[in-house]
Structure 1
Amino acid sequence: MLLDLRRAITASIVFFVILGLAYPLAETGIGQALFNHQANGSLTANGSERIGQTWDGPQWFHGRADGDDPTATGGSNLGPRSKELLDKYRERIAGLEKEGVTPHQDLVSASGSGVDPDISPDAAYAQVPSVAKARGQSDDKLRALVERHVQGPQFGFLGASHVNVLELNEELATLR
């Protein structure tokens, strides 16, 4: 019986060292060596490329409705006939129209996660006239900027084309 207990304890220690220490350290090392930027949160000076940011004012491109609110990382459970949801949509539409932006679904509705950093190319192009006017830039120059930031589907077939609003606004900030 003592022999069985010793074998069980030895096996537990071996598996703890392999699976509890060596494997996680190896995974962390590989992640840091090969994917350092992603493993550390894809951070830029203005936030993470993977989390939507809030951009105030008509001089910036806006992301999805909930921006960087961490409490928005779950569904609201508001149904399509919800008065509260309808009021939110009307408020968002009025805000977009006030800035001179043609309301687009991506700009009015929230994403599934609530912190999606991407919008559709159509939603980005819909904002070009407003941003151009606020910045005193030409529409053509900003359309070209948006075009440079349109990313196609992953691997050419997974998902839809999208624009990362953080990356777009960071380049927009460098324009004169």
Structure 2
Amino acid sequence: MSFVREAGRAVRSTFVLWVLTALIYPFVMIAIGQIAFPFQANGSLINNAQGQPIGSALIGQPFTSDRYFNSRPSTTNYSTADPKADSLGVLKTGVSGASNLAPNNPALLDRIKGDIPRLQKAGVKPTADLVYTSGSSLDPHITPEGARAQIDRVAKARGLQPNQIEALITQNTENRFLGIFGEPGVNVLKLNLALDALKPARAS
């Protein structure tokens, strides 16, 4: 009887813990997230003027047009490649991850040697974040310096005044977390969305 009683107690304890950890706790966390942090809990999605989701504030995406601020280079092209037609091998490291190429690797050096003249030709002063990929290859931010380096190109393509875009960058610069952690950054998607809403300054 003692064995049966102990076995029954173990089964009941397992069931109670399962209900607590596999059912109650997850649903409580979901409820807290939806009530207290709905934006973050739903993927930090950013909507356009029509209310349609166009991306996440946490995941970078490629912008190649001169009318927009370009994102950091990505070894996975921000995971937009088609796995069935990946001729360039951008997904060979997975949907997220660095290239793991050493600083003296010829493949890395060749890419950088190609990117720097391309940026200079577009009138963009190469900064580290516009040349080197991030550890995740999904970084949604660039540095304020990387954004300012693109002002002339974007202003020319959109017919805007450089000081308009400079002000926009300042408005969209995220400072250090709690004032001490990390470095200031500019979310490229948010900046480009604000850029689309910007109207040319009236001629004086």
TM bin (shorter chain): over 0.9
- Of stretches 126-135 and 72-81 in structure 1, the one that deviates more from structure 2 is 72-81
- How does the TM-score come out when normalised to structure 2? 0.83
- Residue number among 153, 160, 164 corresponding to 1:141 in the alignment: 164
- The residue number in structure 2 matching 1:79 is 102
Q: Secondary structure at the match of 2:186?
A: strand
TM-score, with length taken from structure 1? 0.95
CA distance in 1, matches of 2:102, 2:26: 42
String of CA shifts for 1:84-106, please: whole Å, max 9, x gaps. Answer: 00111122223222322111111
Can you give the 5+ residue segments of structure 2 that lack an aligned partner in the other structure? 47-52, 81-93, 200-204
Deviant stretches of 4+, over 6 Å:
none
1:69 pairs with 66, 69, 79, which one? 79
Q: Which has the higher helix share?
A: 1
Shift of 1:72: 5.5
| 2:180 aligned residue (144, 148, 157) | 157
Partner of 2:61: 53
Q: Which runs of 5 or more residues in structure 1 are unaligned? A: none
Secondary structure of the structure 2 residue equivalent to 1:68: helix
Whole-angstrom distance in 1 between the partners of 2:24 and 2:156: 57
Aligned match of 2:13:
11
- CA shift, 1:33, in A, is 0.7
Letter of the structure 2 residue corresponding to residue 16 of structure 1:
W
Give the counterpart of 1:43 among 42, 45, 66.
45
Rate the CA distance shift 1:69–1:94 in 2: closer, same or farther, 3 A. farther
- Aligned counterparts of 1:86 and 1:56: Cα–Cα separation in 2: 21
Q: Which whole-Å deviations, capped at 9, do the CAs of 1:18-42 have from their partners, x for residues lacking one?
A: 1111001101110111111111111
RMSD: 1.2
Between the two structures, name the one with larger relative contact order (CA 8 Å, sep ≥ 6). Answer: 1
SS across alignment from 1:53:
coil
| Among 28, 31, 34, the residue aligned to 2:36 | 34
* Matches of 1:116 and 1:8, distance apart in 2: 47
**Is 1:106 the counterpart of 2:114 in the alignment?**
no
